[in-house]
Amino acid sequence: NAGVMQNPRHLVRRRGQEARLRCSPMKGHSHVYWYRQLPEEGLKFMVYLQKENIIDESGMPKERFSAEFPKEGPSILRIQQVVRGDSAAYFCASSPTGRSSPLHFGNGTRLTVT
Amino acid sequence: GQQLNQSPQSMFIQEGEDVSMNCTSSSIFNTWLWYKQDPGEGPVLLIALYKAGELTSNGRLTAQFGITRKDSFLNISASIPSDVGIYFCAGQLGGGATNKLIFGTGTLLAVQP
């Protein structure tokens, strides 16, 4: 299966710890998007990256959250000093181009902060 | 953040019935997409629409891109139990920094056999 791969599927962190979420896009896709979904809500855009560049981070909280998509390896969404409100499902999507191409989603990482 | 208004919020129907849901926005989009999400999974793309007025089918699913570019609807004909899930519309401005999707609030569909 050459779909979008996210890991881990489930992640439990205590308040104050760091969470690292990884996303490998579909083969041939160089555009990655991160979304957050709270229980029983829709998906909210966080950040859009192309290889080594952040294109749009208008949905990212100003503090504690960062994202990268290095030349080699997966895209990483990092949450520092997690709080209970960070508990959510985080989805990664990828597309082959940056122009009106549909996004294909992974199965998400479910972060629980205790 | 910006969200699209999707209705109805939920639907409870009998197997074999047809279903219709729609999505409206105060903003114009260049692309409309419809996704389905099963519990514990990511959204799966059902239909993509690229032109105002476009009507596209995928099996029992039909979707239309509104002429004003501010709305879209999805119809499911002859529903079956595996249609159960949450359906999301998404609008896309397209091109460079605006390729991100804005999602609707979702329609929960329950189908009784």
pLDDT of residue A23: 98
Number of alpha carbons in the 13 Å side-chain half-sphere of residue B73:
10
Segment A45-64 mean pLDDT: 92
Stretch A45-73: mean pLDDT: 93
Helix (H, G, I), strand (E, B) or coil at A49: strand
Q: Which residue of A has its CA nearest to B42?
A: A107
Q: How confident is the model at residue A53 (pLDDT cuts 50, 70, 90)?
A: very high
Please confirm whether the linkage preceding A96 is cis (ω < 30° from 0).
no
Q: How many residues does chain B have?
A: 113
A25-45 average pLDDT score:
91
Residue B67: its pLDDT value, please? 94
d(CA B97, nearest CA chain A) in Å: 6
Which residues of chain A make contact with B46, given a CB cutoff of 8 A? none
Question: Region A55-75: what's the mean pLDDT?
Answer: 94
At residue A113, the pLDDT reads 97
Type of residue found at A29: H
Q: Which of B55, B53, B92 lies closest to B74, judged by CA?
A: B55
Look at residue B23 and give its three-state secondary structure: strand
Partner-chain contact B43 A91, CB within 8 Å: yes
Per-residue pLDDT, A89: 97
Provide the pLDDT for residue B109.
96
Q: Residue range A4-25: average pLDDT?
A: 97
Q: What is the pLDDT of residue A42?
A: 86
pLDDT tens, per residue, chain B with 113 residues:
566 899 999 999 999 999 999 999 998 898 999 999 998 899 999 999 999 999 999 999 999 999 999 999 999 999 999 999 999 999 987 655 567 889 999 999 999 98
